Structure 1
Amino acid sequence: MKDFNNSSDKELVLAYKLGKKVAFSYLVKRWHLQFCKLAFWYVKDADIAKDIAQESWKVILRKIEDLEDPDKFKSWSISIVNRKALDSLRSTKKRKLKLESYYEHKSRVKPFLEVTENKESMYKQKLREGIQKLPENQKIVIQLFYTQNYSLNEISELVNISVGTAKSRLFHAREKLKTILKHVDYE
């Protein structure tokens, strides 16, 4: 088996194309560190640079058979690393823009939700105050019906009134609440 340590890139590419797969590992030994350095120059992150070099080697391995002029291995492979590094930068920029957009959206939504929650809390408070202004017999029926979820039949048994009276008190309680809450600002 031939020792490829002193072989040129051209000889290694040709040997690989002739089926001597070990020749490719000599190309990797020769160029991997330089590919990592080149990628690092772009991305300024050693781990990402190593990933870029690895992805570049995958492309080189897949396309080396199509390399028409083995003398141009260096420039051809470096152009692949350059493209991969630029792709990584674009991808990082897109992710960054998406994150910024997300946080910008989140910062706009949060105040809206807080205002909505504050308004809802205010309306509930006004409703409680309105219920307190009702006559006692209506207050009991409306609280049992809406907060305790009792049916009109159950209310009539609990309060010892007819179902019709329970229904009537509930109706009048709603009408009075409408009048009381008419002055609450719903905007």
Structure 2
Amino acid sequence: MKHDSEQILNEWLVAAAQAGDSAALQRLIARWQPRLLSYSVSQLQDREAAQDVVQEVMLQITKKLMQLQDPAAFPKWAYQILQRRGIDWIRRKQTRRKYEQPMPDDESHVELGGTTTPDHAQNISLQQALHSLEPEAQQIIRLFYMEGFSVQEIGSIIDKPEGTVKSRLFAARNKLKQVLEGGHHD
């Protein structure tokens, strides 16, 4: 992750929170909760579940922050915890329902604005195009472009080899380009 004023503030907040400053801890949580929630929603495709998972993650971060050796590693560490909790939630969901297939008239197909005309596909926004990707592709795009993690850091967060992250990032970029140009066909 880039070392800029935001990174420096994060490091300072982590160090202050580790030193017992409860206001710094609250500020750190307030800064990171929306980011982690956005990532979790893309991972789980369920806002309510994402809120629950992020709440669990925030509790775990609060309890284990003293164990973090390097304050600069906080973003990667927080996303790793979130990734693992999200995977746990997905596994629990899969044990309850073995296989889930959206129906053609399901809301997930209306998410791109409620219309599927070719003209509309050409006017699709980047955010809408991002939502059309598979959850893992959304996560990789978010971590790389929105959070500024390197391919190596993303591999560590999602527990995949660097080469896998590179190829999935490449595929996700191509899919986004295809969706944005109106050539998206399922």
More helix by share: 1
TM-score, normalised to structure 1, is 0.48
TM-score by length of 2: 0.48
Q: Which has the higher contact order (CA 8 A, sep 6+)?
A: 2
Answer with 1 or 2: which has the greater Rg.
1
